[in-house]
Amino acid sequence: MRVALFITCVNDTLFPDTGKAVVSLLRRLGCDVDFPQAQTCCGQMHVNTGYRAEGVRLARHFAEVFDGYDAVVAPSGSCAAMVREQYPRLGVQAPPVHDLSEFLVDVLEVEDVGAYFPHRVTYHPTCHSLRGLHLGDRPTRLLRHVRGLELVPLEGADECCGFGGTFAIKNPAISAAMCSDKVRNVLDTGAEVLCAADNSCLMHIGGTLRRQKTGVRVMHLAEILDAR
């Protein structure tokens, strides 16, 4: 299957390892992965902050770049939800975008990707994956098949971490308060690794975990699924 990788601007710039993991994982599962190099950004930041005209320009560019692919895979529930939910409202034709776990479970129909990751992991489902894409238990089903991995439940998992894009900058006090509650719940699990399907949420929670010198690492789902 010929699959286009939509890396997302955040992953492209700050978290290339997530992209490398997706490529490696999908190739291992027999996909022909392409990275359309003209891609930039889905426009979510602009649209959600109130800069619709700029956002729509980026969305149109996105739609052109990914036109014609059987499937577009994104290691971000939030950006995938942006394309699927908001593009129609903006009058932009949405390419068939899948979040990574959706693509693995629904399209490739695999739950055991042959990964090995001998660590105690807790999973934060992220709002847009949960309520935008309705990913349900797909990510945790994938994690449960990872050999050596102990998945521990996260209290208040469905609650937002407080990132919210520019919310973190515009409402820093509430954002930090939400994150500190999330961090407390993460620490209560005793997990070594906090996993999610969105690096922006992980950047926020991980930044706080690091500032507090907790020793808990954050990892994108793709990187755990690619671990051997």
Contacting residues toward another protein, per CB under 8 A:
7, 9, 11-17, 19-20, 23, 35, 37-41, 45-52, 54, 57-58, 61, 86, 89, 127-128, 130-132, 158-160, 162-180, 203-204, 206-208, 210-211
* d(C-alpha 97, C-alpha 37), whole Å: 17
Tell the smallest beta-carbon distance from residue 132 to another protein (Å). 6
Beta carbon nearer to another protein, 151 or 203: 203
Smallest separation, CB 54 to another protein (Å): 4
Q: Which is nearer to another protein, 13 or 93 (CB)?
A: 13
Q: Which is nearer to another protein, 59 or 146 (CB)?
A: 59
Closer to another protein by Cβ: residue 120 or 169: 169
Contact 38, 7 (CB under 8 A): no
What's the angle, vertex CA 63, arms to CA 58 and CA 66, rounded to 5? 120
Write down the least CB distance from residue 135 to another protein, Å.
13
* Nearest CB to another protein, comparing residues 62 and 149: 62
Structure tokens at 11: 């992953």
Q: Supply the minimum distance, in Å, between the C-beta of residue 228 and another protein.
A: 19
110/207 with CB nearer another protein: 207
CB of 180 to another protein, least distance (A): 8
Least separation in angstroms between CB 74 and another protein: 13
* Whether the Cβ atoms of residue 205 and residue 218 lie closer than 8 Å to each other: yes
